[in-house]
Each structure stands twice: as C-alpha cells, then as structure tokens.
Amino acid sequence: MTELSNDTIGIIGVVALLVMVVIGVRVYIAAATVGFIGLVAIIGWDAGAGMIGTIPHSKSVTYTLSVLPMFILIGYLAFHAGITQALFDAARKWLGWLPGGLAVASVMATAGFAAVSGASTATAAVFARVAIPEMLSAGYSKSIAAGVVAAGGTLATLIPPSAILVIYAIIVEESVGQLLLAGFIPGIVSALIYVGIILIWAKIDPTVGPAIQGYTWTDRIKAVPGTFPVIAVVIIIFSAMYFGWATPTEAGALGAFVVFVMALLKGMRWPALRESLLDTAKLTVMIFSLIWGVLAFVRFLGFAGLPEHFTNFIVALPYEPWVVMVCILIAYAILGMFMDAIGMLLLTLPVVYPAVMALGYDSIWFGIIVVKMAEVCLVTPPIGLNCFVVSAVRPDIPIWTVFRGVGPFVIADFITVAVFMIWPEVITWLPQTLLN
C-alpha cells in the first residue's frame, strides 16, 4: 500500500474539517479531532499525542490571553448595571430628531456599548431588549428594528476592547495594543456609514422610521451623565496603551473595576454580579476551547506544509496584489456564511496570513480588514450569529425577518471595506501616530 505524502494528508484533513463543520460538528471539536488524527498520521502516536496534550496548558498560561476575560467582564458588568439603557436614552434624546432617529440612536448606542464590550453577540442581545421595543412602539417595522440591532452589534468586533482583535493578535503574534488602537477609527467610520445608510433610506422612504420630537436641551443635558461610565472606560484603556503605564490586560482590569464600581453605585447586588461572572466564564471557556481545538489543527497544518504551499501559490499568481486581496475577501464572505467569525479566523489565518504578508500588506491593516469581514459573517445567512441572537431574544421576530432587515447594512459593510482598501491610512494612522 502506497504511503500518503504529508501534502495529501493535509488536504484530506482540510476536506474532513470542512465536511464536519458543514454537517454541524462544533468547530473546536472538529478542529481538535482532525488535528490530532493528522498529527498522529504524520509524526506518529507518541509525538502527536504529546504535542496535542500540551496545547491547553501552554496556551492557557499565555499572558496575552488574559486580556479576553477582562474585556468580556466589562461588557457583562455594564449590561447588568443598566448602563446600556442610559446610553440608549442619551442617544435617543440627542439624535431622535433625525430621519430614522431611533435607528440612528440605536447604532450610536451600540457603538458606545461596544467601547465597553468585547462581544458582538452580547451587544446584540442587550439592545434587542432595550432598543427594539422602543422602535416598534414608534412605528418601525420588525425587520428594520431587528436589522439595526443585529448590525449595530457587529461594531463590537472593531471598536476596542474587541475579543476578536485580541484573538487575531494571538494567532499572528502581533501587538495587541496596536491592533486595539487601530480598531478605534475604523469602528467609528463603520458606525457613521451605518448612520448614513439609515438617513438616506429614511429620506427616500419616510415610513422607514419617523423622527422623534419633544426633547428639550435640558432633557439632553440631563441624559449625558449616564454615559460617563463608558467614557471613563474608553479613557482608561486608551490612556494606558498610549502612555504605556499599563498592559492591555491591566487596562482591561482597570476598566472592569471602574464599571464594577459604577454598577455598585447604580444598585447592583449579588444576583446580578453572579450572573455577570457566570456569563463571562461561559463565553471565556467557549473562546478558549475554540483556541485549543484550532491550534491543534494549526499544528497539523504546519507539519503538512500547507501554509507554505499556499503562500507560494498566491505569490506566484500573475495578478496585482489588490486583485488577490479582493478574491481572499470574497472567499471570507462566502466561508462566513457557514462558520462563526472566531472559528473562521482561527482556521484560516494560519494559512492565509503568511500569503498576505508575502504580498506586501501591513499586518495591522489586514487585521482590521479581516475582522471587518468577520462582522459581515455575523449577519449573513444561514449562520449569521447576531441575527439568531436577536431572534432568540425576541421570539416574535422570525429569523428571516432579521436577515431581511440587515440587508442594507451588509451593503454598508462592503462599502466600508472598500474605503479601508482605498485609504489604508484610516486604519494605520492612529497606531502609527500614537505608538511611534
């Protein structure tokens, strides 16, 4: 019997992984299983099993990973402390007079909450409870109200603190601080493009969402103090990274402490705190499990030599680098229809990243671009996780109604990606200015 080459084993492993994911096997289980079997096939039982056995411990004790639970905890504490309601109230009073005012307010409030939450699904779930009832009461259709919240939740993937940006940094061994700084302006640009889409949409069709009148300047000014916890967290995290007096993990811990104190002042008691801690632990364990499983698969890919072969293939293509990049992003858009964002990045970056670097692109720039594509994956059928979260929180809104509502925002996301590709300085200016 002919012995299979490492290349062949690698290709068989990739196909097996895709098949397992498509039939519904969880990504971390599929990746760990294929990685384990593949390593054993290439380097033998003792070496393969030994390597797989060391991954959970060696990666759990990595200091960089400790930033994840801190950022996630900030978001859940803010939610259970009622900070989200204060953000939405302030946004409604200041922006409600615009065409589609409540939808605009929802986008800006989700952007504000994204500054204290590292998880897009948590953001979508929170504002499904806070913003959708208000929009429905004002006469918005279910599809528009749900679509705004599902799309707005994706802003948490870019605006720091972002769990996915941290995961990207860990995979490609890039600076967490630079990536978090780089996500700030693109996150704001994404939110503003969402707002632009809503304003144009509401101007063309006034029935999309009526303007909200009746708030005085006194009402608006009184709503501002409710946003102070978010402002404090943003100042702490960015000041820490800019002046260098705290690592991202320490900045995250300080941010969590500030939100915790604010939550206590707002009357948080043990049941709500317990729920925050449990939610943080559940999401952290889920992310860590993904990382462990996918790193087993990554080790297998490395021994099979697929990343190197893919890089050589990409570099040898007779096309301009930007054409190749567009093709890569289209592939991400298609793949994201069938996988969750974190799993997709964990599985593809070990192969795609070396090729992109060989084409001469900047690592920080590519990180923001690929995370923006992960945002698109969160709202596209059939796996769009944010849409399922919104539908789960609001059982009266069917999932396909949510998908219909996010359509204009998917178009906005593609416009945003085009902006980042044409003007890469939108991404690179802030980290280069502050850290150089």
**The residue to which tokens 């906005």 are assigned:** 412
Average pLDDT, rounded, for the chain: 83
* Percent share of the chain, pLDDT over 90: 13
Domain assignment present for 296 = yes
Domain assignment present for 88 = yes
Residue 33 tokens read as: 């299983």
Neighbouring residues of 195: CB distance < 8 A, sequence distance ≥ 6:
104, 107, 108
- CA–CA separation, 356 vs 146, rounded Å? 36
pLDDT tens across 252-293, in order?
888 888 888 888 887 778 888 888 888 888 878 877 887 788
Q: Which residue has the higher pLDDT, 3 or 51?
A: 51
Sign of the CA dihedral with 269 first, then 274, 279, and 285 last: positive
pLDDT at 369: 93
Nearest to 54 by CA among 412, 355, 295, 305: 295
pLDDT tens across 312-365, in order?
777 777 888 888 899 888 888 887 777 777 777 877 888 888 889 988 899 999
Q: Dihedral angle at the C-alpha atoms of 247, 251, 254, 259, nearest 10 degrees?
A: -160
Residue ranges making up the domain that contains 92: 6-435
For residues 128 and 390, is the Cβ–Cβ distance under 8 A?
A: yes
How is 200-246 classified by DSSP, letter by letter?
A: HHHHH-GGG--------HHHHHHHGGGGHHHHHHHHHHHHHHHH-SS
In order of 81, 121, 152, 220, 410, the CA distances from 375 in angstroms are: 26, 11, 10, 32, 9
pLDDT band for position 217 (50/70/90)? confident
Q: How many CA atoms lie within 13 A of 391 on its CB side?
A: 18
- CA–CA separation, 151 vs 110, rounded Å? 9
Q: Which residue has the higher pLDDT, 293 or 410?
A: 410
Q: Dihedral angle at the C-alpha atoms of 184, 255, 341, 191, nearest 10 degrees?
A: -40
In order of 28, 200, 375, 406, the CA distances from 195 in angstroms are: 36, 9, 16, 13
In order of 73, 232, 334, 362, 417, the CA distances from 276 in angstroms are: 7, 20, 34, 37, 34
Residue 332 CA, distance from chain mean position = 14
pLDDT tens across 187-196, in order?
999 999 999 9
How is 373-425 classified by DSSP, letter by letter?
A: HHHHHTSSTTT-HHHHHHHHH-TTS-HHHHHHHHHHHHHHHHHHHHHHHH-TH
Buried b (16+ CB within 10 A) or exposed e, 168-192: bbbbbebbbbbbbbbbbbbbebbbe
Q: How many CA atoms lie within 13 A of 423 on its CB side?
A: 8
The burial class, CB within 10 Å (0-12 / 13-18 / 19+), for 334 is exposed
pLDDT band for position 107 (50/70/90)? very high
Domain assignment present for 1 = no
What does the pLDDT average to over 200-223? 83
- Phi, psi (degrees; rounded to nearest 5) at 318: -85, 50
- CA–CA separation, 228 vs 132, rounded Å? 24
Q: Helices (DSSP H) in 23-81: which residue ranges?
A: 27-43, 45-60, 67-80
**The residue to which tokens 């990606």 are assigned:** 417
pLDDT at 1: 42
**The residue to which tokens 């969750």 are assigned:** 340
Q: Which residue has the higher pLDDT, 248 or 405?
A: 405
**Of the listed ranges 74-78, 107-111, 357-361, 373-377, the one predicted with least confidence:** 74-78
Query: In this model, does residue 2 exceed pLDDT 60?
Result: no
For residues 209 and 99, is the Cβ–Cβ distance under 8 A?
A: yes
Side chain identity at residue 146, one-letter code: A
pLDDT at 101: 87
pLDDT tens across 44-64, in order?
888 888 888 887 777 667 777
pLDDT band for position 399 (50/70/90)? confident
pLDDT band for position 210 (50/70/90)? confident
**Of the listed ranges 208-212, 285-289, 337-341, 403-407, the one predicted with least confidence:** 337-341
Measured distance between the N- and C-terminal CA atoms of the chain, rounded to whole angstroms: 59
Domain assignment present for 195 = yes
pLDDT at 83: 75
- Domains contained in the chain, number: 1
pLDDT at 412: 92
